[in-house]
Every structure is written in structure tokens, then in C-alpha cells.
Amino acid sequence: MTETLKDILTHTEAGVLTITLNRVDKKNSITAAMYAAMADALEAASGDSAVRAVVIQGHETIFSAGNDIGDFLKKPPSTPDSPVFRFLRGISTFPKPVIASVCGPAVGIGTTLLLHCDLVYAGDNAAFSMPFVNLGLCPEAASSLLVPQRMGYARAAEALLLGEPLTPETALETGLINRIVPPLEANALAQRQAHKLAAKPLASLIETKRLMKKGNAAAVAERITEESVSFGRMLSEPAAPPASRGERQVTDVAQAGAGGVVGISPDDDGHHRRDRAGFVTEQLQKIGGDASFMAAPRAQRRLIAIDHEVAHPA
């Protein structure tokens, strides 16, 4: 079995395709190969009349820590056919119902992909975060369009400008998810709902979804393209240093999880610049054994400890 097949599991039963993020040791951070596998699975399912609904799930302790930045930098998405863009086009235009089961941290793309799902069920341990600004980047997956539409501008500003994580309760209130359940029940609930959908007339499902999405489809496609251009440019250019040594951004950045991180390291002039996939990755490895680090207030204490360690090295 190849690493990609280990990291992305697919299984079809009774009309339901289940895609499982299975890189738990790396917090389900997503590589280019994983994006390609998911894009291929969605493309095949789109034209397969035997597949009537899709479930995307992770582990009961972690949904996804976002992009694997190390892999992202080795294989930057440079063309519209890059795996991440293929996946975003695939999930945003998928004609059949998509259900997500989310437990534990859902960071970056782990949250924004949910905007393209039709039903989302979350464990009560879920934590949703879009810390793009904290990483010196910009939103992706049309989240700059869909989050304000879904949550209202004020809530969207907190989520996207401040990068503040959302609790399951807030995610439910703002319409990001449909229901909160115990973590061990989330995947089973998603499967039950998917099988309910699979028992309905496929043509009716497809047409109803098309009509619901029609008003936004062109705008979503345009925004995904625009964000992708900006994201790629910002990923490759140096970010501005913090305003002062005391205003270290590692505490915010650490919320991104093991998969999407930007470290901060001093250069020869004593200023600080972001060293992508650097220092913070090492720091996060120290807390990587506990997937609940995203959950406040425990996360706040841990992040303060990380900040203290940076500011006062041994």
C-alpha cells in the first residue's frame, strides 16, 4: 500500500463513498498527494451513478491541522491543475450531497472545505480555525466570500482577520455545522444521514442541490481563483516582521496545528522574519501528542507557555 493510500482511505458501500483522512500521526495535515487522491475520488464519484452521496471524515480526535506547509513549499501549487486547486474545484462543484464529520481541530482548509459540504456534524471536541492572517497568508476555498455570507461580516472579521477559533456552539449558531454530538458518535451519524440521502431519487438530489447553489456558483469559482493567486504570491514572499520582540506571533500561529505553521526566527540584524515550516513546527511537536491542544482554555495556557519559551530561551 502506498503512503497516499494509507493517508486517504476510500470506501464505497450502499451508494455512499466515504473519504477518510488517515494521517493521524501528523494531525491529518494534508499533502499534495492527499489532495490529488481526494480530487480523483470526487471526480470518479461525480460520474458514477452507483455513488449517491459522499462522506468526508477524520479521526475522533482530529479532523485536519490544515495544509502540510513543508510539503506545500516543496511542491507549491503553481498551476490550475495543481492538486489543491483540483480538490477545491471538485468539492465546490460536486453535484451530489457531501456530508462531513468533524471531531477535534479543523484548521485552515479543515474548516474552509466544510463551506462546500451540504451537511456537517461535529463532535463536541471540535474546534474550527482559519488563522490565515496569523500565518501571513490570505483565505482560500472562497472562504473570504462564504464566511461573511454564512456568519455575517462582524463574525467573519473575528474568524478571518483575528484568526480566532470557533467553538462547536458558535459554529452551530452561525450555520457552519448542523449538529453537535459526542465525538464517538459523529462518524456514525454522518453515515446514517448519508444513507438516508442515498435512498432518495438521485436526479432529485442533484437538481435540488444545483438550484440551491446556482446563485453563488460563479462567484465561488471566481473567488477560489482570486484567492489562489493571492495565496500563492503570499506564500512565496517574506512577511513583515512583528512590531516588536514582545509581540511574537508564535502564540497565534501555534493555533494552526502541526500542518499549517510559520515559525519566527531572528536574522543577522536581530530583526525577526517568518521562517515557514520552521521553529513553530518544532514547538508544536512538543504538544503534538495531545490533539486537544486547540481547545480553550487549555490551549491558551499552552500557547502562552510556548511564547514564554521563545521569549526566554534556555
pLDDT digits (tens, 9 = 90+) for 285-305: 433 333 333 333 333 333 333
CA angle, corner 161, sides to 272 and 68, nearest 5? 65
**Domain residue ranges of the chain, discontinuous segments joined by +:** 3-202, 250-311
Query: For residue 188, what is its C-alpha cell?
Result: 456514525
Q: Does the predicted model carry a pTM greater than 0.85?
A: no
Contact of 58 with 101, CB cutoff 8 Å: yes
Tell me the one-letter amino acid at 294: M
The distance from CA 217 to its chain's CA centroid, rounded to whole angstroms, is: 21
Cα–Cα distance between 22 and 217 in angstroms, integer?
30
pLDDT digits (tens, 9 = 90+) for 54-108: 999 999 999 999 999 888 878 888 777 899 999 999 999 999 999 999 999 999 9
What's the whole-number mean pLDDT along residues 113-130? 98
Fold that domain 3-202 belongs to in CATH = 2-enoyl-CoA Hydratase; Chain A, domain 1 (3.90.226)
The distance from CA 121 to its chain's CA centroid, rounded to whole angstroms, is: 15
Q: Is 207 helix (H, G, I), strand (E, B) or coil?
A: helix
Q: Is 267 helix (H, G, I), strand (E, B) or coil?
A: coil
Enumerate residues 6+ apart whose C-beta is below 8 A from 81. none
pLDDT of res. 4:
57
pLDDT of res. 75:
81
pLDDT of res. 242:
53
| CA dihedral sign of residues 301, 307, 311, 314 | positive
Cα–Cα distance between 271 and 264 in angstroms, integer?
10
pLDDT of res. 240:
56
* pLDDT reading at 239 higher than 80: no
pLDDT of res. 5:
75
| CA dihedral sign of residues 161, 60, 120, 89 | positive
105-142 exposure pattern, b = at least 16 Cβ within 10 A, e = fewer: bbbbbbbbbbbbbbbbbbbebbbbbbbbebbbbbbbbb
Enumerate residues 6+ apart whose C-beta is below 8 A from 260. 29, 65, 66, 67, 68, 69, 107, 108, 131, 135
